[in-house]
Amino acid sequence: MKTSEVGTNEYASYYQNYITKAGEVDLIEELEISVHRLIHFVREIPMDKFDYRYAEGKWTIKDILQHLIDAERIFSYRALRFARKDQTPLASFEEDDYAREANGGRRSIQDLLTEVAVVRQSTLSLFKSFDAETLQRIGTASNNPMSVRALGFVIIGHQNHHQQVFEERYL
């Protein structure tokens, strides 16, 4: 399953940036590889940068890692629901509220990276269980259609987006 196989009718336009940032990749391979790339990248960041904010009210690197964990869990949950043909519309989530309540800044980098890896392993196991038909199933999230496969690529692209933000604004 490649990114180019996902139609624009399978996700809200808001997610186009994440689909694009996933690149033209194989879904399962990139879910497996990209988490290692992120962990290696974060481990190379100087320790004094993890609590840095580039502007008032912006998240720290720790906050963003916690956000990636939370968002991946939510996207995977949506994928599970849609894969099981659950047609119940799913609500959106307010990322700033989640970040405020998550207390990512109180956690160690090692703890956050361990959870990133564990959550991705769970996501990977879930997506490996889907066949081609299941990946094409569509549900509703945030009042928009979303396919299972689009959610997988959004997870990848969302991670790539935030890694790019680290490079451009934090380092």
Q: Over the stretch 95-116, which tens digit does the pLDDT of each residue have?
A: 999 999 999 999 999 999 999 9
Residue keyed to tokens 């990322």: 95
pLDDT at residue 55 in the model: 93
Whole-model pTM: value is: 0.96
Q: What is the pLDDT of residues 26-62, one digit of tens each?
A: 999 999 999 999 999 999 999 999 999 999 999 999 9
pLDDT at residue 124 in the model: 98
Angle at 115 between CA 49 and CA 42, to 5 degrees: 30
Q: What single DSSP character describes residue 86? A: -
- Cα–Cα distance for residue pair 140/146, rounded to 1 Å: 6
Q: To the nearest whole number, what is the mean pLDDT of the chain? A: 97
pLDDT tier for residue 80 given thresholds of 50, 70 and 90: very high
Name all domains of the chain by residue range, CATH numbers in brackets: 6-170 (1.20.120.450)
Helix or strand run (H / E) with residue 39: helix 27-43
Q: What single DSSP character describes residue 126? A: H
The percentage of the chain sitting over the pLDDT mark of 70, rounded to a whole number, equals 100
pLDDT at residue 129 in the model: 98
- Cα–Cα distance for residue pair 113/126, rounded to 1 Å: 20
Q: How far is CA 116 from the centre of its chain?
A: 10
pLDDT at residue 31 in the model: 98
- Cα–Cα distance for residue pair 107/23, rounded to 1 Å: 31
Structural tokens at position 125? 């196991």
Continuous H helices in the chain: 16-22, 27-43, 61-83, 95-102, 109-128, 132-135, 148-165
pLDDT at residue 136 in the model: 98
pLDDT at residue 54 in the model: 92
pLDDT at residue 66 in the model: 98
